[in-house]
Structure 1
């Protein structure tokens, strides 16, 4: 059996499963951030201070992902045996990890910008456009020579397979 090409990304299904797990973890971090923010600012009404809360959540998530990526992986990446590497083959620097975090906004901003100037009363179209965009963006990785996501190519990072541990005898 030959070893997988280290330049080729893990399969798209595995990367999307990891992304789904990351979304659950990010949601939990966002909830904890919102709780701490509301306690410290003595937030009494959900609509007051929501812009500052959104900025706080984006920054806390940025710190979490940047810190984890600069060490090579997040918990979901570890679970799905995926590692992130920089141009020299090791974990990316903090600056490169932060740049990757900024570029990862391409997963959410285009579909959300589509609905930005509308009052949304039905979330089904938003969900459909968001999920459709995520699938479309993920499939665009098939056009990359090493099957990497484009934000990784632009950030100078790569997602690689981590060898499966040998089975205990």
Structure 2
């Protein structure tokens, strides 16, 4: 069954990728903050200040999980608050529900989880938009949301 077509055009893959690259900046800042907290906690637990966390240890996996959750909190709060992250604003991109309204928290969480899986698979879910009739990505389809391009504001 075809989903209803949004009143605005679906965002092209190039704009989506540009926004994703731009959104790496606040994400990296959050990751650095989490790393500082982990480093301080690691040092306070009796380890040397120059001792590294063992590769593939439970602590390292916990740090990755915390970084992923912080990034998700940033994305979900941004999408829920105004439909846009910092990286989406310069390209006038906005996440909306399939009906054009504000998506609920569940749909946004699904969007983030499927989008993350898509990135782990070398962006396959993003590249899918090139062959999709409605130019939708995997996370658009799975969550029932759309990313649209807003019109330019009149001066």
TM-score for both structures, normalised by structure 1: 0.72
Aligned structure 1 segments of 4 or more residues deviating by more than 2 angstroms: 5-8, 36-46, 106-110, 136-139
- Judge conservation of contact 1:18–1:80 (CA < 8 Å) in 2: yes
CA RMSD across the alignment: 2.1
Q: Which has the higher helix share?
A: 1
* Residues paired across the two proteins, number: 140
Aligned pairs for 1:2-21 within 5 A = 6=7, 8-21=9-22
CA distance in structure 2 between the aligned counterparts of 1:19 and 1:51, rounded to whole angstroms: 23
Q: Within 5 Å, which residues of 2 pair with 1:111-126?
A: none
Is the contact made by 1:85 and 1:157 (CA closer than 8 Å) also made in structure 2?
yes
- In the other structure, the counterpart of 1:62 is 72
What is the rounded CA distance, in whole Å, between the counterparts of 2:18 and 2:130 in structure 1?
A: 17
Q: Which runs of 5 or more residues in structure 2 are unaligned?
A: 1-5
Please tell me whether the aligned partners of residues 84 and 95 of structure 2 are also in contact (alpha carbons under 8 angstroms). Answer: yes
SS, match of residue 36 in structure 2: helix
SS of 1:78's partner is coil
| TM-score normalised per structure 2 | 0.78
For structure 1, list consecutive stretches of 5 or more residues without a partner in the other structure. Answer: 111-132
Separation in 2, partners of 1:74, 1:47: 32
SS in 1 for 2:88: helix
**Offset at residue 87 of structure 1 (A):** 2.9
